């Protein structure tokens, strides 16, 4: 078992502690955070059991869910009649990451919203904490 601590500043410091245990099945990993449990794994073609999302998918899921939550909170606060949010995400190929990592994010908003509201919601999407975190240079300190 090993512990992963993620610290980031939004307006105040937030400490997230995740305890990760490797399962006996080579790559399947239990991740505990905030009283919740998820599994990470690799697909069978990479030697995993495909019993959870791979780490790259988890990263994209974090960005996608944070984006959707941020848009929903803003729409609710401004009483924008937003019915649904669909977000498609993709990350560049691993061999391209040494130059620059590119994540494409396509956001589809459903509801009786004006063009101005749609434009504002897309601006708000960039305000999500995970987007801010991933948009800045990241330094990982390993001890």
Distant-in-sequence, close-in-space partners of 6: CB < 8 Å, separation ≥ 6: 15, 16, 17, 18
**Which SS3 state, helix, strand or coil, does residue 101 take?**
coil
Q: Rounded to an integer, what distance in angstroms lies between the CA atom of residue 102 and that of residue 91?
A: 6
One digit per residue, the tens of pLDDT, for the chain of length 143 reads 333 444 444 445 555 566 667 767 888 888 887 778 888 899 999 999 999 999 999 999 999 999 999 999 999 999 999 999 999 999 877 666 677 788 999 999 999 999 999 999 999 999 999 999 999 988 888 88
Rounded to the nearest 10°, the torsion over CA 97, 101, 102, 103 is 110
b/e burial code for range 126-137 (CB count within 10 A of at least 16 → b):
eebbbbebeeee
> Phi and psi (nearest 5°) for 78?
-95, 5
Q: What is the pLDDT of residue 59?
A: 93
**Long-range pairs for 36-41 at CB < 8 Å and ≥24 separation?**
none
Q: What is the pLDDT of residue 140?
A: 85
Q: What is the pLDDT of residue 25?
A: 80
Tell me the whole-structure pTM to 2 decimals.
0.82
Rounded to the nearest 10°, the torsion over CA 97, 102, 103, 104 is -140
| Encoded tokens for 98 | 């040494």
Enter the CATH code of domain 55-135: 3.30.300.20
The domain locations on the chain are 2-46, 55-135
Contact 19, 5 (CB under 8 A): no
């Amino acid at each position: 078992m090993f512990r992963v601590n993620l610290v980031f500043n939004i307006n105040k410091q937030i400490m997230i502690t995740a305890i990760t245990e490797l399962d006996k099945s080579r790559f399947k990993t239990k991740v505990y955070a905030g009283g919740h449990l998820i599994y990470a794994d690799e697909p069978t073609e990479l030697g995993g059991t495909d019993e959870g999302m791979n780490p790259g998918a988890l990263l994209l899921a974090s960005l996608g869910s944070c984006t959707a939550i941020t848009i929903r909170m803003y729409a609710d606060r401004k009483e924008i009649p937003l019915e649904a949010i669909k977000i498609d995400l993709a990350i560049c190929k691993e061999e391209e990451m040494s130059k620059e990592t590119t994540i494409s994010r396509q956001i589809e908003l459903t509801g009786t919203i004006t063009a101005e509201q749609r434009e504002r919601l897309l601006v708000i999407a960039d305000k999500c904490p995970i987007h801010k975190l991933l948009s800045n240079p990241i330094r990982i300190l390993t001890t």
